């Protein structure tokens, strides 16, 4: 028997995942004390196999809660603890870009590896490391991709789109989404000068009169996609739509995309957002089943 634990701000994905697994999710109760500390309450008795669903968008507070929940779950009976973090935070800070910078990817990975036996995630931003296992020393990392699902969604909406990733790092997702449908595809080159200051060179594809879809793993401020959209329209694109796995969309990100000429903004439900159109619940459920069968 497996228990599926989740937090109430991710109830929709928890229910969808529970339905796909045939398990009713149980919710972790949170009480926030006036001084900012948190009390978590888990089911009083847990089976040996426990899956905890927690996306790590806006991660800082959630990381503390996760450590408490994991330790508590083990005290209450869990022997094998799986974290399903559809969005895995801190993966982009994967080297010291300047002397003295802390390589957050390594340390957040070590922290999660200390608490969980298995970590399942979707399209983690692994650029300079080969696999999620490398980020989780001694533990099992399962990295799934939503790119084929986004590719299916795009194919159902747009005839013969040109799929563009804003930078080289997006090549893996663009290829995975384009492959099954034979979309024209390419990736641009990004020059980042600051959090909200990027320049993009688009790939040398004929965009005149074409429907362009920009595909990326994550949109945060939306600047990367807004700049790419402006470039595509300046190169004659008839329309620009956007598809991302992780809809972080901080502040006015979505409005800034529309202001840049973007028509539709589509995302998966890895991060709950109004733009969610594709559910990763079946993908997560299949991976959890396969992992359980393999143990
Ligand atoms: C980084 O390379 C990622 O793939 C995204 O392109 C980036 O995080 C998007 O950030 P923003 O939306 O703030 O431009």
DSSP 8-state secondary structure symbol assigned to residue 206 = -
pTM above 0.85?
yes
User: Ligand 1 pocket by C-beta < 6 Å: which residues?
Assistant: 92, 125, 166-167, 169, 198, 216-224
Q: Whose CA is nearest to atom 5 of ligand 1?
A: 218
CB contact at 8 A, 50 and 21: no
User: What's the mean per-residue pLDDT of the chain?
Assistant: 97
255 and 269, same structural domain? yes
Angstrom distance (rounded) from CA 34 to CA 13: 29
Predicted pLDDT at 132 = 95
How far apart, in Å, are the Cα atoms of 58 and each of 20, 87, 88, 115, 283?
Answer: 26, 10, 10, 19, 23
105 token code pair? 């990817």
Predicted pLDDT at 263 = 98
What is the average pLDDT across 253-265? Answer: 98
284 and 140, same structural domain? yes
Query: From ligand 1's centre to the CA of 174, what distance in Å?
Result: 15
Ligand 1 pocket test, pick from 93, 224, 246, 256 with the greatest ligand atom count within 8 Å of Cβ, gives 224
160 and 134, same structural domain? no
Atom from ligand 1 closest to the CA of residue 127 = 2
Angstrom distance (rounded) from CA 237 to CA 162: 9
- State whether residue 6 is helix, strand or coil: strand
128 and 10, same structural domain? yes
170 and 213, same structural domain? yes
Predicted pLDDT at 277 = 98
Q: At what angle do helices 104-115 and 59-75 cross, to 10 degrees?
A: 20
Predicted pLDDT at 127 = 87
CB contact at 8 A, 248 and 270: no
172 and 126, same structural domain? no
Angstrom distance (rounded) from CA 263 to CA 100: 42
Atom from ligand 1 closest to the CA of residue 223 = 14
Helix, strand and coil content of the chain, in percent to the nearest 5, comes to: 35, 25, 40
DSSP 8-state secondary structure symbol assigned to residue 202 = P
126 and 14, same structural domain? yes
pLDDT tens figures, 146-197: 999 999 999 999 999 999 999 999 999 999 999 999 999 999 999 999 998 9
High-pLDDT (> 90) share of the chain, %: 97
High-pLDDT (> 70) share of the chain, %: 100
pLDDT tens figures, 32-85: 999 999 999 999 999 999 999 999 999 999 999 999 999 999 999 999 999 999
Angstrom distance (rounded) from CA 24 to CA 247: 26
Predicted pLDDT at 64 = 97
111 and 16, same structural domain? yes
Listed in sequence order, the residues at least 6 apart from 194 whose beta carbon sits closer than 8 Å to its beta carbon are none
Q: Tell me how many domains the chain contains.
A: 2
pLDDT tens figures, 101-141: 999 999 999 999 999 999 999 999 998 898 999 999 999 99
Q: How many CB atoms lie within 10 A of CB 32?
A: 10
User: By residue range, what is the domain housing residue 253?
Assistant: 147-277
Q: Look at residue 89 and tell me whether its pLDDT is greater than 90.
A: yes
CATH number at residue 194: 3.40.50.2020
Query: From ligand 1's centre to the CA of 245, what distance in Å?
Result: 12
Q: How many CB atoms lie within 10 A of CB 238?
A: 13
Burial of 35 (0-12, 13-18, 19+ CB in 10 A): exposed
Q: Look at residue 10 and tell me whether its pLDDT is greater than 90.
A: yes
Angstrom distance (rounded) from CA 93 to CA 23: 35
Angstrom distance (rounded) from CA 201 to CA 230: 11
Q: Rounded to 10 degrees, what is the CA torsion of 227, 232, 238, 240?
A: -40
CB contact at 8 A, 82 and 104: no
Q: Which of 91, 104, 102, 106 is nearest to 136 (CA)?
A: 106
Query: From ligand 1's centre to the CA of 290, what distance in Å?
Result: 31
260 and 177, same structural domain? yes
Angstrom distance (rounded) from CA 221 to CA 237: 23
153 and 121, same structural domain? no
- Residues belonging to the active site: 190
Q: Rounded to 10 degrees, what is the CA torsion of 158, 162, 165, 170?
A: 80
290 and 250, same structural domain? no
Q: Look at residue 251 and tell me whether its pLDDT is greater than 90.
A: yes
106 and 32, same structural domain? yes
Q: Look at residue 294 and tell me whether its pLDDT is greater than 90.
A: no
């Amino acid at each position: 028997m497996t228990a599926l634990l989740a937090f109430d701000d991710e109830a929709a994905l928890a229910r969808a995942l529970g339905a796909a697994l045939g398990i009713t999710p149980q919710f972790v109760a949170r009480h926030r004390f006036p001084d900012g500390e948190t009390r978590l309450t888990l089911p009083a008795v847990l089976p040996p196999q426990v899956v905890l669903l927690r996306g790590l968008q806006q991660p800082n507070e959630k990381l503390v809660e996760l450590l408490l929940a994991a330790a508590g779950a083990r005290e209450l009976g869990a022997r094998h603890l799986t974290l399903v973090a559809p969005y895995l935070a801190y993966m982009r800070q994967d080297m010291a870009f300047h002397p003295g910078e802390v390589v957050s990817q390594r340390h957040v990975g070590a922290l999660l590896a200390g608490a969980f036996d298995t970590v399942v995630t979707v399209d983690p931003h692994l650029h300079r490391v080969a696999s999620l296992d490398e980020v989780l020393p001694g533990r099992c990392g399962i990295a799934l991709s939503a790119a084929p699902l986004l590719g299916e969604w795009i194919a159902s909406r747009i005839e013969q789109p040109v799929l563009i990733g804003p930078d080289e790092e997006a090549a893996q997702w663009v290829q995975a989404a384009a492959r099954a449908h034979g979309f024209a595809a390419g990736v641009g080159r990004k020059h980042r000068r600051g959090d909200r200051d990027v320049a993009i060179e688009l790939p040398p594809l004929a965009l005149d009169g074409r429907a362009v879809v920009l595909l990326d793993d994550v949109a945060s401020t939306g600047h990367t996609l807004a700049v790419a959209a402006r470039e595509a329209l300046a190169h004659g694109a008839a329309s620009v739509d956007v598809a991302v796995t992780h809809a972080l969309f901080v502040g006015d990100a979505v409005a800034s995309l529309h202001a840049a000429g973007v028509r539709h903004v589509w995302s998966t439900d890895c991060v709950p957002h109004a733009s969610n159109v594709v559910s990763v619940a079946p993908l997560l459920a299949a991976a959890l089943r396969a992992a359980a069968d393999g143990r």
